[in-house]
Structure 1
Amino acid sequence: KRSCTDVGCALLFFAFLYGLWATYLGARREGNIEKLTRGFDWKGDICGVDPGVEDKPMLFWCTAAAPSARLTLLDGVCVPRCPRDAQSASWCPGTPMPFQHRSPEADGTQQVMIGMVRNLTLRADYPTVPALSYCFPTQDMVMLRRILRDTHLTTLTQQVYLACRGAMESWRFLVAVAAASAGIGYAFLFVLWLCFAHLIYGLVFVAHVLFGFCCYTAVRAGLNEHDNILAGYFEAETAQAAAWATAVACAACWFVFSAL
């Protein structure tokens, strides 16, 4: 008759599950889980979620304004679909320029407004492929490396994309490896079926040889200080005692193995 053998552990397990569920509900209520799977455009809007970009679920990185300019995740723009060629263009933000505006108040104080200004310019698109709500270049490998290196993509997203891309590019090699693995596995099973007894006898013989060699080496080290590798680390008496102890332990293991 089956029954619970550890009630205390079961209670702790269910309490743990309840804590996970409560944490999940709190995260759904207080936060936005879409932030984990979608990109942010240069204004901080979540592509495909926030007002104004609900119909633009993909994040596309514009080409840099200058060759030396650094790409960041905030330089991306939300687009309805990833560009497939260079025939289209997107409105892309320029370099941030800080500004400060002072306005005097009637009571003699001043109000200071500080912010950033970014000019939008049309820049040509480039061929991309959609993956994980992002648009990754398909031809410009320099651009792809800059995106993976310079943007704030999570490490998991980078690893998943690189793994998928590597699998697509090396699918023939992966298929060959899978076929070879299956063939080697079946060949091993065939060898076991054909000569299992001989294989066991061979392994037993090798084990006896190893035990004998171990005992011989330990006894020789105990009799001859020059053959004792422990003599360089311990005193002569300690090294000799360790060698004899090793010989006795090896002989005992050999005896037990032979008896079994």
Structure 2
Amino acid sequence: MTTWLRLGGVTELAAQAPDAQSWMSEGELARLAAMQSARRRSQFVAGRWLARALLAEAFGGAWQDWMLTGGAESPPVVSGGVPAKLSISHSGDLVACAVSGAALGLDLEPCRLRKGLDALYGAITTDVERATLADHTVAPADTVHRFAHAWTLKEAGLKRHGGGLFATMLGHGLTIEAASGARDANACTWLHENHVLALCSDDLRAMTAPGMPVPRYWRLVLSGTAPLQ
């Protein structure tokens, strides 16, 4: 089953979008109206605009044929010509969207220093995972980049499988393993403009991601003392 992935700029996409009142659902408009930050509003508009364009490209019809609903704490539910799933993530002026006929999860995070990074990295990974990440991440393979890979992979897995953030991260509900290629992987990552983008999907053999380099492949395994439901 094919997965379509696109990564774009928030400022550019938000400027391209028509007035939100003409195309967003009532739920989306309510969420947009509640946002105080202009930057967050731009990210929301850009993500929803990109999602509709990608759904039309992947499954056919016009972007106006696709509607997104869902609450603030739940992923968007797609209504359109065929059953479809999507995941959206944004960071700064970057926004990513992936769509497929099957469930998937996407996460985008910056590679940056933060207070207590070593302790947090140690808390969300095991010794085996840290060794795997050190061997399998692209250069520069420092703690900042390894942490970004670990967090985005587990966040993408959380969005794909469901469950709680605490169980996934600190309860080790997902274990990261290296994969040799798309055939035995259910997750992949890209390094782009000092960000890590992670995608979790059951079938990565058929994927269209224009402009993106060859991804690094991984396998996320349900495990730990607080497994995902």
TM-score higher than 0.5: no
Q: Shorter-normalised TM-score: what interval?
A: under 0.3
**What TM-score comes out, normalization by structure 1 length?**
0.20
Pair member with larger Rg? 1
Higher relative contact order (CA 8 A, sep 6+): 2
Query: Greater helix share, 1 or 2?
Result: 1
Query: Greater strand share, 1 or 2?
Result: 2
